[in-house]
Structure 1
Amino acid sequence: MNTAIPARTSTGADPVRAFRIGAYGFVVLGVGHLAFVAAKASATPTPEQRTADTAMRESTVTLLGLERTTFDVTHGMSIAMGLFVVACGLLMLAAVRQAPGLVRRRTAFGWVSLAASLTALGLALLLLPAPPIIILPVTSYAFALSLRRGAAD
């Protein structure tokens, strides 16, 4: 007869579940950003937006021999940022699916995710509109909760 006490397996206390919430938050943030960029690009600009866009198109930046308008650089970086946030979230989900121990053992994987989320939250509070200010505290809390629930290395 086996007298060993089985390990408690409460899904509510699972660090992987909390981590996944944070990773899905990144995906939602990136997809939302890209949807906003697409909606803004297809909307009729206000006179103020036309004036700003014209000024940005007249200002150029040259870096390593490539000349680009400020408009192109700003929009290109914005789209790339949205894609990278989605990719990071999807990579986090794929990694934790293949190797849940990365989260269960409080490795650098979880700490880097928390640091990125908190840094992005700080930037959002200073520079960005409401959606990232709403989503990033959720991702940060989820990553922190995941680390709290994980076992020390």
Structure 2
Amino acid sequence: MNSAVTSRTLARTDSVRPFKAGAYGFVLLGIGHLALSAAAATATQTSERRAVDTVMRESTFALLGLERTVLDVFNGMSIAMAFFSITCGLLILAAVRHAPALVQRRTAFGWCALAVSLAVLVVSVLLLPPPPIVVLTVTSCAFGLSLRRATTVSAHAAEAA
């Protein structure tokens, strides 16, 4: 019997995997949001929810010549942000697939993803229910871990020399 350990350990420098996990988190956040919005729209509403929707329908405002109800803006912003979250995650995944060096080194690409994730996490903690808080905590940790594992640009320059 061979007692040598042959298990493969994850290299500390693997910054791509956690970054992809963060990107998938953005996609999951958007899809989950759309699914919950659809479920809420088709669910039987409570009397309190009907009253709120009525008030939101009756409250209108005009901006740049367009009149909208508060309910229109609420639903429109919600759906638009879900699509933006999905698209952002998919674009990040495509970029990393075609140019993994974007996250193997500490670049602005990685810092931007972390900054956006943290900013939206703060908004979520202040204004939203637990599901986005949980997902955005995971995405922020994933992007942060990716940056921690990434090498600096000067380290790559030294390797090339």
- Same fold by TM (over 0.5)? yes
User: 1:116 deviation in Å?
Assistant: 0.4
Contact in 1 for aligned 2:33/2:82 (Cα 8 Å): yes
2:29 is the counterpart of 1:29: yes
Structure 1, unpaired ranges of 5+: 1-8
Pair 1:139 & 2:139 matched: yes
Match of 1:52 in 2: 52
Query: Once superposed, which parts of structure 1, at least 4 consecutive aligned residues long, lie more than 3 Å away?
Result: 9-13
Q: Is the 8 A contact 2:13 2:150 kept in 1?
A: no
Q: TM-score, normalised by structure 1?
A: 0.92
* Per-residue deviation, 1:13: 3.7
Matches within 5 A, 1:13-28: 13-28=13-28
Structure 2 runs not aligned, ≥5 long: 1-8, 154-161
Shift of 1:10: 4.0
Root-mean-square deviation (CA), in Å?
A: 1.2
Report the TM-score when normalising by structure 2: 0.87
Deviations 1:63-93 (A, max 9, x none): 1100000000000000000010000000000
**Counterpart of 2:28 in 1: which secondary structure?**
helix
C-alpha displacement of 1:38: 0.3
The whole-number CA distance in structure 1 between the counterparts of 2:84 and 2:139 is 16
Percent identical residues: 63
Question: Once the two structures are superposed, what CA deviation does each residue of 1:3-38 show, in whole Å capped at 9, x if it has no partner?
Answer: xxxxxx945641001100100011111100000000
Verify the 8 A CA contact 1:11 1:17 in the aligned structure 2: no
Distance 2:20 2:12 in 1: 12
Q: CA deviation at 1:130?
A: 0.8
SS in 1 for 2:68: strand
**Partner of 2:107 in structure 1?**
107
Between Structure 1 and Structure 2, how many residues are aligned? 145
